[in-house]
Chain A
Amino acid sequence: EDQVTQSPEALRLQEGESSSLNCSYTVSGLRGLFWYRQDPGKGPEFLFTLYSAGEEKEKERLKATLTKKESFLHITAPKPEDSATYLCALLLIQGAQKLVFGQGTRLTINP
């Protein structure tokens, strides 16, 4: 069964303290892995798409990487405005495209 699991569920960091969020998956034929950011009371906002193992993408303090079994979202020197829930999603093609989401990691950056 296609499954995506994120860890940790919640992470609290001090401003400037770098860390990584994990997204592990089991899927038969990965078409793409997406990272989204969700702020309270808002819809998910697209960050990155990764397509194949070894791929990396960066945006400001965030860098996403992908292996055959997991993806990491690395946060370097985070700021309080990076506080949000980060969602990982698999793109599956089963007659049509659909995203299967993990449960998210709630990240809090303390000043």
Chain B
Amino acid sequence: DTAVSQTPKYLVTQMGNDKSIKCEQNLGHDTMYWYKQDSKKFLKIMFSYNNKELIINETVPNRFSPKSPDKAHLNLHINSLELGDSAVYFCASNRRGLNTEAFFGQGTRLTVV
């Protein structure tokens, strides 16, 4: 199936740990994103990559480090996890160009205890 897929779907970890979330898209898109959805369901952009190049970094703590090994993958590594990092993280992708809709993954629910 053509899609944006994220792993894992659920992640429970202790404060202070380091964790990664992986994202892959097979839609042939050249731009990928990470969004964070908090407990109030607000979706906010964190990062945007175009052809492996960081385009947007929305004042995210530097404990969050995205990595794009190729334009089909965008991973999110989080160091020293804090309670406030608990949220649902969504990966998305689209084609560069005006007004092309973004396709979202199913989300990764991160719970920091």
Contact = CB atoms under 8 A, between A and B. Distances in A.
Given A98-B45, A104-B41, A43 B56 contact: no
Interface in B39-95: 40-45, 48, 50, 55-56, 58, 90, 92, 94
A41 interface: yes
Contact of B56 (A85, A87, A91, A96): A96
Given A95-B55, A96-B56, A34 B101 contact: yes
Given A43-B90, A44-B43, A49 B101 contact: yes
B99 interface: yes
Give the size range of A's interface with the partner: 20 to 34
Contacts of A91: 98-99
A42 B102 contact: no
A93 B104 contact: no
Contacts of B55: 95-96
A89 B58 CA distance: 17
Interface of A: 31-32, 34, 36, 41-46, 49, 51, 85, 87, 89, 91, 93-101, 103-104
Contacts of A89: 43
B49 to A, nearest CB: 9
B111 interface: no
B103 A51 contact: no
- Chief secondary structure at chain B's binding surface: strand
Contacts of A99: 43, 45, 102
Contacts of A42: 106-107
Nearest to B55: A96
Nearest to A36: B104
Contacts of A36: 104
15 contacts: A34-B102, A41-B106, A44-B90, A46-B101, A51-B99, A94-B56, A96-B55, A97-B96, A98-B58, A99-B102, A100-B45, A101-B43, A101-B44, A103-B42, A104-B41
